[in-house]
Structure 1
Amino acid sequence: MTTTTWQDDAGRDLVRSFGDRMALFTRGEGAYLWDGAGRRYLDFLAGIAVNSLGHAHPVFVEAISKQAATLSHVSNYFATEPQLALAARLKRIAGTGPTGRVYFGNSGAEANEAAFKLARLHGGAERPRILSLKDAFHGRTMGTLALTGKPWMQEPFQPMVGGVEFIDSTVEALEAAIDDRVAALFVEPIKGEAGVVELPEGYLGAARELTERHGALLIIDEIQTGAGRTGEWFAFQHEGITPDAITVAKGIGGGFPIGALITFDAASDLFYPGTHGSTFGGNALGTAVADAVLGEIERAGLVANAEERGAQLRAAIEGIGSPLVEGCRGKGLLIGVGLTHPVAKAVVAAAQGHGLVVNAPNDETIRLVPALNIGDVEIDEFVDLFAASLATVSDALVLDGNEVSA
């Protein structure tokens, strides 16, 4: 009998688009993961901003168990109580008012696909142009990839769905590009996959004014920034504006796959029967879990905790005093640690060696998106582990003869 490792099995049986898996995790609890050898890791990636309550939270577990024993799926020919409850909650926390509506899918990419179609319905033949930002990320399906301003990701799949134009993330670029033939502007309030890069101050306010002036939709991708992660329910709320639509996923389900398009005012009437749909989207199981997760975020005050702990975490990182740390970006518990050298992958590997899970969206940034309910214990442990990880990489650079002074 041939004995194989899990790496062998993954390399043989799983598609190669994700590259080599970094570890085999077997269970999680709170802010911690355990691998097959029983080693514990502090998880400051949380499934890429997905596990809002951490791992195996009692509210999450109970919601799945209770709903699975009652009703899981009936299709969108029918309504269910969890679906209606979650739609009402999302409208309330997004501030849509009574005219808002919610479309449910199964992921962020599906939410952005729905938003793309919403833009087309609004634009028609008279408004064929859609604007998106350079270096933006909105998904990997053919539609959402067309909205993603990363040419290297698009190149193998050309030709893209037409009509999308990419502009710099400046008010000046938007003013130069927008006209009455634009159907919609897609923006991320913070570009997570670009390295946790915030829009310029005042950008969303200017975007709202310009899109209204020219009759275009302002569609905000809140997939990574939503569900309280930035210290507000949604990042657009920091700016005091009202968009035409937002897309959400990741943290709203706390680990259960679900996404949604939330529309405001006149945009809520653009879809009509037959224009969009999903077999699994909005099923009773997924919506019950998401409603429970959002309810716990609200009950436990985790939106405010994200703001407080984010500030605490940024100060602690800067207090490490590592010559590799250039500074921190982001809001709340969506943090990008800028590095002075392109060694982010080495830092991630060193962190894993020290029992810490973090992420490198590019060569010069470490992304931190821990569970929203972290506290002093987790932050203190993170600082020790992250400092050790940075020191490991700094020492290696010195041995290689590279300068790493601040």
Structure 2
Amino acid sequence: MASIKQLFFANLAQTTDFPLALEMERAEGVHIWDTNGKAYIDLISGISVSNIGHRHPKVVDAIKGQVDKYMHLLVYGEFIQSPQVLLANELSQALGSNLDNLFLVNSGSEAIEGAMKLAKRYTGRREFIAFDKAYHGSTQGALSIIGDEEFRRGYRPLLPGIRHIQFNDTAEFQHITENTAAVIVETVQGEAGYIPPHAGYLKALREKCDEVGALLILDEIQAGFGRTGSLFAFHTEDIHPDIVTLAKGMGGGMPIGAFASRKEIMDSLKENPILGHITTFGGHPVSAAAALASLQVIQEEELWKRPLEGEKLFRELLVHPLITEVRGRGFMLAVQLDTFERVQKVIEYCLEHGVITDWFLFNDTSLRLSPPLIITDDEIRRACEVIVEGIDRTV
């Protein structure tokens, strides 16, 4: 009989020729165990998903409690289902900025697709401004606005009316005009290698959007839910977005996403035509219950404070002649090396010694650090020790 690993390669679609191919058995907190019983410190959180750690007991209890009541009932928006309603209410209060309406979906890509449709429908415009090296997902609309031609080229034609500009360069604002439906920007660029906005940049972008009547869409899919040292990264920027997209750390490990806006804007999806945006499984009650529990854990335990403390320790410990920069904010950190080959060797060494890290789609010369918010100082010290040792072995 074929092994699980053999079936993995035979029956699951692969996206690279070099998957990590670790056969995992269980996970809890900051650790994952493989089928041989080996423990790994998880420094990537499933790409910024497991913000409160794996299998948090309050999330597990919420999932079990909801499964005992009901799971899928009907397409989103028809029945009143308390997990959806309670999540939307609490999350809208947490977001602030009059973002009082949420449309619940299944993933970050879906949140982006919905936000783009909403901006078109509300403004009556068709053009979008996005950013070089931005990442917003892999579906057709999201792919149209990601900022790397290598990843777009094989799937053209994509959506028309998309212009990419340089991040952190206010001179590029000249391209935002009265034809622009929306500007969509990550509050910290993710796959570019965790690049934060310069001080005042997002505020200036908000002012330019106001000047020409364009909407401002903030992508908080990777930065949200405490990862940068505030509940949402835009909370430190003194700005009020028109639409915010959410996913990843939202569900406590369950699949869910959302786009949030003001009711005035969101109501435009109700007419001309009706059912302007629909989803079968968006806001699945089990995922919604998990997301509510996860949000409550982050708020009650003030876990959003932890990344700023942990960032200081990472920066103190990750010192090596081959590390040219530790870049980012909170628990979105990139360790800049020189070549992809070195990054691969360090990742392999880390795996051998019980630490999981990764690289970035648009910056393959950096190591990704986005651990769960609950990681301890001792776990950070151990992880950094292994990373520095791994770099030494490549010399």
- TM bucket, shorter chain: over 0.9
Q: Which amino acid aligns with 1:42?
A: I
- Secondary structure of the equivalent of 2:326? strand
Q: Deviations over 1:11-36 (max 9, x none)?
A: 21111224443111111111111111
Q: Which amino acid aligns with 2:42?
A: D
Alignment-derived partner of residue 247 in structure 1: 245
Alignment-derived partner of residue 311 in structure 2: 310
Alignment-derived partner of residue 181 in structure 2: 183
Q: Which moved more, 1:251-260 or 1:66-75?
A: 66-75
Contact conserved, 2:97 with 2:241, CA < 8 A, in 1? no
- The residue correspondences of 1:164-313 to structure 2 (distance < 5 A) are 164-264=162-262, 266-272=264-270, 273-313=274-314
Query: RMSD over aligned Cα, in angstroms?
Result: 1.6
Contact conserved, 1:219 with 1:244, CA < 8 A, in 2? yes
- Secondary structure of the equivalent of 1:270? helix
- 1:128 aligned to 126, 129, 134, which one? 126
- The residue correspondences of 1:338-357 to structure 2 (distance < 5 A) are 338-342=336-340, 343-357=342-356
Q: Which moved more, 1:293-302 or 1:378-387?
A: 378-387
Alignment-derived partner of residue 358 in structure 1: 357
Contact conserved, 2:168 with 2:198, CA < 8 A, in 1? yes
Q: 1:95 to 1:293 in 2, by over 3 A?
A: same
Contact conserved, 2:93 with 2:100, CA < 8 A, in 1? no
- The residue correspondences of 1:13-28 to structure 2 (distance < 5 A) are 13-22=11-20, 23-28=22-27
Partners in 2 of 1:344 and 1:238 — Cα distance?
Answer: 32
Partners in 2 of 1:14 and 1:256 — Cα distance?
Answer: 20
Alignment-derived partner of residue 107 in structure 1: 107
Contact conserved, 2:53 with 2:372, CA < 8 A, in 1? yes
Q: CA deviation at 1:148?
A: 0.8
Contact conserved, 1:129 with 1:183, CA < 8 A, in 2? yes
Q: Which moved more, 1:249-258 or 1:341-350?
A: 341-350
Alignment pair present for 1:162 and 2:160: yes
Alignment-derived partner of residue 150 in structure 2: 152
Q: 1:52 to 1:172 in 2, by over 3 A?
A: closer
Q: Which amino acid aligns with 2:40?
A: Y
Q: Which amino acid aligns with 1:142?
A: Q
Alignment-derived partner of residue 72 in structure 2: 73
Q: CA deviation at 1:128?
A: 2.5
Contact conserved, 1:135 with 1:150, CA < 8 A, in 2? yes
Please give the TM-score of this superposition, normalised by the length of structure 1: 0.91
Q: 1:309 to 1:212 in 2, by over 3 A?
A: same
Contact conserved, 1:230 with 1:334, CA < 8 A, in 2? yes
For these two proteins, the number of residue pairs brought into alignment is 386
Partners in 2 of 1:277 and 1:33 — Cα distance?
Answer: 36
Q: CA deviation at 1:187?
A: 0.3
Partners in 2 of 1:73 and 1:9 — Cα distance?
Answer: 30
Alignment-derived partner of residue 32 in structure 1: 31
Q: CA deviation at 1:323?
A: 1.7
Partners in 2 of 1:149 and 1:340 — Cα distance?
Answer: 22
Unmatched segments (≥5 aa) in structure 1: 395-406
Q: Which amino acid aligns with 1:391?
A: D
Unmatched segments (≥5 aa) in structure 2: none
Q: CA deviation at 1:81?
A: 1.0
Partners in 2 of 1:171 and 1:351 — Cα distance?
Answer: 36
Q: CA deviation at 1:266?
A: 4.0
Please give the TM-score of this superposition, normalised by the length of structure 2: 0.94
